[in-house]
């Protein structure tokens, strides 16, 4: 006897469930009336969808506590504390940060480990991530469950299969990292993305770039990369590897770059360049870079000059991007955000000097709205995409 067709949730219903989930994820708690208005569906359809999502344990409908309202209390549809969460991971050369992120983007719990160079192997990293996954599960509410794993990697990630083509600061080449994660953590679907691509994704959903369809997120840590949105769509390139602004040639006679080239953008605005400009012959680390910024704030002339030099170069880099892509907004993350905070006038002046006037006038520069967490929260978005695409299959 075949299963009656009516027992299977249909594609339209699944799609609509995803729409409601996605809206609550982006905007937070909403009343049924707000959902009805935002989605253009009728009240009874919204009622059915909310009931389904509640039954699936994905959302809950409740009267907000502590609300000082007059009249009949209004029910809101929102995330539930014992609901699904994404495991988001931000992998950097010297650290591993993980977080359990709820629908709506709230960080429920986080873990951070130092990462030594001898721990850079993909299997060792996957092992450490598995440890974090267990610790996060223990730190979240009973009943809460992980729907997926999103990992931000400081390197070029092939979109089709999650192979990390190259991550120079981890010394990775052609590492099938998504497959390694799926082996170590079966049952927790893993996605891997480039840190800047994920940064721009999160900044657009809940950071400084909300509502902007033409935005560049430029992040500088040890490496420099860009996540680029053009006309509302992520600029990916043929293999998903676009955006390597850090290796655009700034001056072919410039310093050698770890990519094998010379005078790449990274060697002028990256953290190693900042330390070199400040006359400090030490490797970039969170502490050594923070010390330059702290000294510049305290009035140390060498540190101020170094920040100013990087700011001038950053303005030129921004000008090239503005001439090429005509963005509305450039969001600066990592140490480049600090450069903008400390020497914004220098960056702006350099941008004005080097960009075409027609495109210069429409662009503004801002620091990341999510601070250090842009890539981490972008990794959560990556993990949630699977749930939102089909909320029924996840349970």
Cα–Cα distances (Å) from 221 to 116, 169, 338, 383, in that order, read 17, 11, 11, 24
Among 128, 132, 175, 247, binds Zn ion (CB under 5 A): 247
Residue number with CB closer to Zn ion (110 or 247): 247
Q: For residues 224 and 289, which CB has a smaller minimum distance to Zn ion in the complex?
A: 224
**Per-position DSSP letters for 121-185, written without gaps between them:** SHHHHHHHHHHHHHHHHHHSPTT-EEEEEEEEESSEE-TTT--EEEEGGGTEEEE-HHHHHHHHS
Q: Minimum Å distance from CB 378 to Zn ion?
A: 23
What is the per-residue binding string for Zn ion in 327-356, x denoting contact by CB under 5 A? ------------------------------
The binder of Zn ion chosen from 57, 131, 255, 261 (CB under 5 A): 261
Cβ nearer to Zn ion, comparing 86 with 264: 264
User: Based on CB atoms, which residue is closest to Zn ion, 164 or 257?
Assistant: 257
Does 179 contact Zn ion by CB under 5 A?
Answer: no
User: Nearer to Zn ion by C-beta: 85 or 250?
Assistant: 250
From 95-103, 226-234, 243-251, 387-395, span contacting Zn ion (CB under 5 A): 243-251
Using the CB atoms, write b or e for 241-275: b if 16+ within 10 Å: bbbbbbbbebeeebeebbeeeebbbbbbbbbbbbb
Residue 259 near Zn ion by CB under 5 A: yes
- Whichever of 175 and 247 has its CB closer to Zn ion, that residue is 247
The Cα–Cα gap between 172 and 259 comes to 12
Q: Which is nearer to Zn ion, 259 or 392 (CB)?
A: 259
Half-sphere exposure in the Cβ direction for 133 (13 Å, CA): 23
**Judged by CB under 5 A, which of 30, 46, 153, 264 binds Zn ion?**
264
| Cβ-contact 19, 101 below 8 angstroms | no
**Min. distance of Cβ 261 from Zn ion in angstroms?**
4
Task: Give the strands of the sheet with 172-175, arranged side by side.
Answer: 156-157, 164-167, 172-175
Residue 241 within binding range of Zn ion, rule CB under 5 A: no
- Nearest 5°: the CA angle 205, 207, 210 is 55
Stretch that binds Zn ion, among 32-40, 260-268, 319-327, 385-393 (CB under 5 A): 260-268
Among 157, 228, 257, 306, binds Zn ion (CB under 5 A): 257
Tokens of 245: 């602004």
User: Rounded distance, CA 157 to CA 162, Å?
Assistant: 6
Residues forming contacts to Zn ion in the complex (CB under 5 A) are: 247, 257, 259, 261, 264
């Amino acid at each position: 006897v075949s299963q009656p067709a009516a027992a299977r949730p249909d594609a339209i219903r699944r799609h609509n469930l995803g729409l409601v989930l996605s809206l609550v994820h982006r905007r937070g708690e909403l009343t049924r009336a707000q959902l009805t208005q935002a989605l253009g569906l009728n009240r009874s359809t919204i009622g059915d969808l909310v009931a389904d999502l509640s039954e699936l344990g994905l959302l809950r409908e409740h009267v907000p506590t502590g609300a000082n309202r007059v009249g009949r209390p209004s029910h809101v549809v929102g995330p539930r504390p014992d609901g699904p969460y994404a495991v988001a991971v931000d992998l950097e050369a010297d650290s591993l940060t993980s977080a359990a992120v709820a629908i709506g983007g709230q960080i429920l719990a986080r873990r951070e480990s130092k990462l030594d160079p001898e721990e850079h192997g993909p299997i060792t990293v996957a092992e450490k991530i598995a440890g974090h996954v267990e610790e996060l599960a223990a730190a979240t509410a009973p009943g809460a469950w992980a729907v997926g794993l999103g990992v931000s990697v400081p390197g070029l990630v092939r979109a089709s299969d999650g192979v990390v083509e190259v991550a120079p600061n981890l010394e990775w080449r052609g590492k099938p990292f998504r497959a390694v994660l799926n082996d170590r953590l079966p049952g927790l679907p893993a996605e891997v993305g480039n840190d800047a691509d994920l940064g721009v994704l999160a900044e657009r959903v809940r950071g400084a770039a909300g509502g902007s369809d033409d935005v560049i997120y430029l992040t500088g840590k040890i490496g420099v990369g860009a996540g680029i949105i053009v006309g509302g769509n992520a600029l990916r390139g043929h293999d998903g590897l676009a955006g390597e602004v850090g290796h655009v040639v700034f001056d072919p006679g410039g310093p050698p770059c770890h990519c094998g080239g010379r005078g790449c953008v990274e060697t002028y605005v990256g953290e190693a360049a900042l330390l070199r400009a400040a006359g400090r012959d030490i490797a970039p680390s969170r502490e050594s870079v923070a010390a330059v910024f702290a000294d510049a704030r305290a009035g140390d002339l060498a540190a101020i000059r170094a920040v100013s030099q990087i700011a001038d170069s950053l303005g030129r880099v921004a000008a090239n991007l503005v001439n090429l892509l005509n963005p509305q907004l450039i969001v600066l993350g990592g140490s480049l955000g600090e450069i903008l905070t400390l020497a914004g006038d220098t960056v702006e002046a350099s941008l004005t000097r080097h960009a075409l006037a027609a495109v210069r006038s429409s662009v503004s520069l801002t620091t990341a709205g999510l601070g250090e967490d842009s890539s981490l929260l972008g990794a959560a978005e990556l993990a949630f995409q699977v749930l939102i695409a089909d909320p029924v299959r996840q349970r």
